[in-house]
Chain A
C-alpha cells in the first residue's frame, strides 16, 4: 500500500477510497497527457500572473518567476503521468517542505490550488476539442481528485515541517508536542445558577 513520509498507508488509502480515486481515474489522467501539454504553459503563465498581481503574494516570487515557471510546469505535467507511486507522494511532500522553507503561508498554496481547480475544466474542455478528443472533457473529475490529493500531501508536509521547527526551537520531543496539541480544553466550571 502507498505511504508517505508523513502520511500512513492507511490514511492514504482512506483518502483514495473516500475521494473514489480509481484505476479509471489513473487511466484518464494518463490519457489526458497530450491535452495537458497543450494548456500547461498557458495555465502556468496565468498562475504566476495571479500571484504577481497581488502585492501580498508577489513579493515571494517576483524575482524568481523564470526559475519557478519550469518547475511548476513539470509539476503540472507530472499530474498526467499516470504513475502515482511513493515517489509521486514524496515529490508532493518535498514541495510542501520547499514552501515552508521559503516562508510561504499555507493559505497561499490553498488559494492557488483553488485557482488551478477553477481553470482546469474549461482548459481541458477547450484543448481536448481542439485535439478532436471531446470525450476528455468529462475526465476533469479525475484531475480535480488528484489536485486535492496533492494539496492534502502538501498540507501535511507543511504541518509536519512546522512541528519539526517547533521541536528544534523548543527542544521538546515530537511526542510532547503532539500531547500538548491533543490536550483537551479545560472544562469551565458551571456557575452555581446553572446547576441542576
Chain B
C-alpha cells in the first residue's frame, strides 16, 4: 500500500518533466522503498550509495558550517543525480538528463519530498 503511494508520487515526478529519467525513495539505511528506475539498474546498489552520499553530504555541510543539508548533487558527463531528504528517514533520488533545467527539477523534487514525508 505504502509502496504504491510512493510509486505514484515518483510517477508524477517523472512525468512532471521530460528531463527526469528516473527516481527512487530510499530509507536512510539504504534500502529501496519504491523506485522507478531503468531495468538494468541494481536497486540495492543505488539505494546504498544514495543513502551514503546523503549522509556524507550532511556531515560535510555541518563540518564546513553550511547548516542543514538541502541536497546533494552529482554531475556526470551524461547528466545529474540529485539526492535530498524526504522526511527524517528517507532519501529522494532523482536522475536527470544532461541539459536539464535544474531549477525546475529542484522544485519538483522538493514537492515530491514533501509528499513522501507525509506518507512516511
Contact = CB atoms under 8 A, between A and B. Distances in A.
B28 A176 contact: yes
Interface size class of A (residues with CB under 8 A): 10 to 19
B83 to A, nearest CB: 13
Nearest to B45: A183
B18 interface: no
A176 B59 contact: no
Contacts of B3: none
A186 B45 contact: yes
Contacts of A186: 42, 45
B10 to A, nearest CB: 21
A173 interface: yes
B48 interface: yes
Contact of B30 (A169, A180, A184): A180
B30 A170 contact: no
B44 interface: yes
A179 B48 contact: yes
Interface stretch (B49-57, B97-105, B107-115): B49-57
Nearest to B62: A171
Interface string B35-66: 00000001011011101100110110000000
A14 B58 CA distance: 41
Interface residues of B, number: 16
B52 A180 contact: yes
A165 interface: no
A188 interface: no
Interface in A76-115: none
B58 A176 contact: no
Q: Which of A171, A173, A180 has the most CB of B within 10 A?
A: A171
Contacts of A173: 28-29, 55
Contact of A170 (B28, B29, B49, B59): B59
B45 A176 contact: no
A172 interface: yes
Interface in A28-74: none
Nearest to A187: B42
A176 B32 CA distance: 12
B82 interface: no
A169 B51 CA distance: 15
B48 A176 contact: yes
Given A173-B28, A173-B29, A175-B30, A180 B59 contact: no
Q: Closest 6 CB pairs between A and B?
A: A175-B29, A171-B59, A172-B55, A179-B30, A176-B30, A171-B55
Interface of B: 28-31, 42, 44-45, 47-49, 51-52, 55-56, 58-59
Interface of A: 169-173, 175-176, 179-180, 183-184, 186
